Amino acid sequence: MDDLKRLKEILLQKSYRKGTFTLTSGKTSDFYIDGKQTTLHAEGAYLCGKLLFEMIRKEPETIDAVGGMTLGADPLVSAVSIVSHLEQAPIPAFIVRKEAKGHGTENYIEGLKNLPEGGRVALVEDVVTTGGTLLQVIDRVEAAGFIVGLVVTVVDRQEGGAEMLAGKGYPLKALYTRESLLS
Instruction: Write out pLDDT tens, residues 134-149.
Output: 999 999 999 999 999 9
pLDDT the model gives residue 148: 98
**Three-state SS for 43?**
helix
pLDDT the model gives residue 22: 92
Closest CA to 73 of 20, 130, 122: 122
pLDDT the model gives residue 105: 67
Q: In CATH, which of 2.30.42.10, 2.20.25.10, 3.40.50.2020, 3.30.420.40 is domain 45-182?
A: 3.40.50.2020
- State how far the alpha carbon of 9 is from the alpha carbons of 61, 87, 109, 138, 172, in Å: 32, 25, 33, 31, 23
- Spans of the chain below 70 pLDDT: 103-105
User: Is residue 122 a contact partner of residue 74, using CB atoms and an 8 Å limit?
Assistant: no
**Does residue 71 have a cis bond before it (omega within 30 degrees)?**
yes
- CA-CA-CA-CA torsion sign (156, 161, 166, 171): negative
pLDDT the model gives residue 104: 67
